């Protein structure tokens, strides 16, 4: 499992940095969610979730992908440049955007680490620590929590986002399943309800399995589903507001899966178990800001109040850097105060490369260096979250 964790980090960074919940407007013909591309770019260019150092894709490259078959893989993963499909189940999978599940799965694993109560079938760090039956049960619980966070609730989020973006997608990406008519509106609505109700049922089943007196996982699932709805749906449509939309995105990727994983294997009975994920969600807000720099002209023209529009490029880049850096400094300081200096130093060591990439990539030119900055910096943030969770799981908080 540890090998799988390490292998997933690169994919998690890529998926998170692409800001998957947004549509990519290429026209000012009508109202639109927060843009990822300048308004005059052609709709044939798009972000590519698997190529973190390349932020656009030409028509020639898209055609080449269709010829070599990679567009079919993209279709299954739900990323841009996908081929059109007629198989209804492949279309349903595309709507859930499987590539966006990965950061949520990572968050669940970090929460399990924070609980300090995850049992391995065989502990590679302690050969004497073997409990096959308990380890197998915990493995099944972890897989169930990942199924909840990924395919069900993230799938619900992505499907409902595509539903409310169907009109702008009809202009910018007419090949997508909903505007192209590859799937009927009734089938989309049915998928939204199946994923939502299935996720809620699964979350309650986890609570029963874990013996919770209060259905904490169900409560988290209800709250997360509500946030997903108001993120995409009018009249609130949080993604049209820089502060609210970016923080909702950060919380969805960091706090909610962390709490879910920790609740499955432990408890959330101390304020710190709530506060630290919320703090890390502020860092997630900073990461989300990076995706707004290139769309500043289009956002301003459409009246969208992204942070680069509200504060200008110079103001927003410092908000981005400060939110990421100060959050981790605060967490490191807290770990030091609870007599965990080793973990605090590890966190500081992981922060230094991030500050370096801020100084050399983000602050000098956030518009042209946005993708390269995220691909360079985010692995250290992700490892920092894991280090923090391991510290919480290791620390003795007393009775």
pLDDT digits (tens, 9 = 90+) for 132-157: 788 899 999 999 999 999 999 999 99
How far is it, in rounded angstroms, from Cα 382 to Cα 131?
29
Greatest Cα pair distance, the chain, in angstroms, is 65
Q: What pTM was computed for the model?
A: 0.79
Question: How many whole angstroms separate alpha carbon 57 and alpha carbon 190?
Answer: 33
User: Do 277 and 259 touch, CB atoms closer than 8 A?
Assistant: yes
CA-to-CA distance for 195 and 208, rounded, in angstroms?
20
Total number of domains in the chain? 1
Give residue-wise pLDDT tens across range 262-300. 999 999 999 999 999 999 999 999 998 998 888 888 778
The answer to whether residue 96 sits within a structural domain is yes
The phi, psi pair for 126, rounded to 5°, reads: -150, 95
Mean pLDDT for 358-376 is 95
What sign for the dihedral angle of Cα 304, 306, 311, 313? negative
The token pair at 55 is: 């932020």
pLDDT for 24 equals 38
pLDDT in tens, 21-46: 444 343 333 333 333 223 333 333 33
- Mean pLDDT of the region 241-261: 93
Give CA–CA dist 132/264, Å, rounded: 19
Q: Pick from 58-62, 238-242, 373-377 the range whose average pLDDT is largest.
A: 373-377
User: For 194, phi and psi rounded to 5 degrees?
Assistant: -65, -45
More confident residue, 159 or 133: 159
In a domain, 338, yes or no: yes
Within a domain: 329: yes
Q: Kindly list the distances between the CA atom of residue 200 and the CA atoms of 111, 147, 253, 269, 275, in Å, as whole numbers in the listed order.
A: 19, 12, 18, 22, 25
CA 212 and chain centroid, separation: 27
Q: Which residues contact 268 (CB under 8 A, 6 or more apart)?
A: 216, 259, 262, 274
Q: What is the pLDDT of residue 353?
A: 98
- Give residue for tokens 């920790």: 262
Give the pLDDT of residue 5.
45
Query: Which residues, in sequence order, are bridge partners of residue 305?
Result: 241
pLDDT of residue 4: 46
Per DSSP, the three-state class of 122 is: strand
Q: What pLDDT does 301 receive?
A: 77
**Structural domain boundaries, residue 316:** 2-394
pLDDT for the residue numbered 10? 42
CA distance 329 to 388: 12
Residue 58 pLDDT more than 50? no
For all residues of the chain together, what is the average pLDDT? Answer: 82
Q: Is 288 exposed, middle or buried (0-12, 13-18, 19+ CB in 10 A)?
A: buried
Predicted local distance difference test score (pLDDT) of residue 140:
96
In a domain, 109, yes or no: yes
* Burial of 174 from C-beta contacts in 10 A (0-12 / 13-18 / 19+): exposed
| pLDDT at residue 361 is higher than 50 | yes
Write down the pLDDT at residue 66.
45
Question: Which of 121-130, 271-280, 389-398 has the weakest average pLDDT?
Answer: 121-130
Flag the least confident range among 112-116, 287-291, 354-358: 287-291
Asked, for residue 399, whether it belongs to a domain, the answer is no
Tell the residue number behind the tokens 């391991």, with chain if given. Answer: 390
The per-residue pLDDT for 74 is 56
User: pLDDT at residue 391 above 90?
Assistant: yes
Of 216, 255, 283, the closest CA to residue 110 belongs to 255
pLDDT tens track for 175-229: 889 999 999 999 999 999 999 999 999 999 999 999 999 999 999 999 999 999 9
Residue 110 inside a domain? The answer is yes
What ranges in the chain are assigned the alpha helix state H?
Answer: 2-17, 59-68, 70-77, 88-96, 102-115, 132-147, 155-164, 166-172, 177-180, 185-210, 216-232, 242-253, 255-265, 271-290, 296-301, 307-337, 341-357, 370-394
Residue 240 domain-assigned (yes or no):
yes
Looking at residue 87, its pLDDT comes to: 85
Q: Are 200 and 218 in contact (CB under 8 A)?
A: yes
Q: Span 155-177, mean pLDDT? A: 89
In a domain, 114, yes or no: yes
Integer Cα distance of 106 and 328 in angstroms: 18
Poorest-pLDDT segment among 110-114, 242-246, 278-282, 314-318? 242-246
Per-residue DSSP letter, 148: I
Q: Give dist(CA 345, CA 133) in Å, integer.
A: 36
122 pLDDT band (50/70/90 cuts)?
confident
pLDDT band at 394 (very low <50, low <70, confident <90, very high): very high
Q: 199, 153 in Cβ contact below 8 A?
A: yes
Confidence of residue 79 (pLDDT cuts 50, 70, 90): low
Give the per-residue pLDDT at 80.
Answer: 56
Please give the average per-residue pLDDT across 57-64, as a whole number.
Answer: 39
What is the mean predicted confidence (pLDDT) over 97-126? 89
């Amino acid at each position: 499992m540890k090998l799988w964790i390490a292998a997933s980090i690169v994919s998690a960074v890529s998926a998170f940095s692409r800001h998957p919940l947004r549509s990519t407007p290429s026209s000012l013909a009508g109202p639109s969610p927060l843009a990822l591309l300048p308004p005059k770019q052609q709709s044939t260019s798009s972000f590519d979730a698997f190529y973190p150092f390349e932020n656009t894709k030409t028509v020639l490259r898209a055609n080449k992908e269709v010829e070599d078959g990679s567009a079919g893989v993209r279709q299954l993963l739900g990323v841009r440049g996908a081929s059109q499909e007629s198989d209804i189940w492949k279309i349903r999978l595309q709507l859930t955007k499987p590539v966006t599940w990965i950061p949520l799965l990572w968050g669940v694993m970090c929460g399990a680490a924070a609980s300090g109560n995850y049992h391995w079938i065989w502990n590679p760090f302690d050969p004497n620590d073997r409990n096959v039956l308990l380890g197998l049960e915990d493995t099944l619980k972890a897989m169930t929590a990942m199924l909840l966070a990924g395919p069900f609730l993230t799938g619900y989020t992505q499907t409902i986002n595509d539903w409310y973006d169907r009109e702008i997608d009809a202009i910018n990406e007419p090949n997508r399943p909903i505007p192209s008519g590859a799937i009927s509106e009734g089938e989309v609505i049915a998928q939204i309800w199946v994923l939502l109700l299935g996720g809620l049922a699964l979350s309650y089943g986890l609570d029963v399995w874990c013996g919770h007196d209060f259905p904490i996982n169900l409560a988290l699932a209800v709250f997360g589903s509500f946030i997903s709805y108001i993120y995409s749906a009018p009249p609130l449509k949080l993604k049209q507001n820089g502060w609210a939309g970016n923080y909702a995105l950060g919380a969805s990727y960091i706090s909610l899966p962390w709490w879910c994983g920790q609740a499955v294997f432990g408890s959330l009975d101390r304020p710190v178990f709530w506060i630290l994920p919320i703090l890390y969600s502020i860092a997630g807000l900073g990461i989300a800001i990076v995706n707004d720099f290139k769309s500043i002209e289009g956002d301003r023209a459409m009246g969208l109040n992204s942070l680069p529009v509200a504060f200008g490029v110079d103001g927003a880049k410092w908000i981005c850097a400060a939110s990421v850096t100060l959050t981790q400094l605060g967490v490191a300081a807290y770990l030091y105060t609870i007599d965990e200096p080793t973990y605090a130093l590890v966190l500081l060591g992981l922060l230094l490369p991030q500050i370096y990439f801020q100084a050399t990539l983000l602050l000098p030119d956030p518009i042209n260096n946005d993708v390269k900055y995220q691909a360079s910096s985010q692995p250290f943030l992700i490892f920092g979250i894991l280090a923090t969770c391991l510290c919480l799981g290791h620390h003795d908080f007393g009775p």
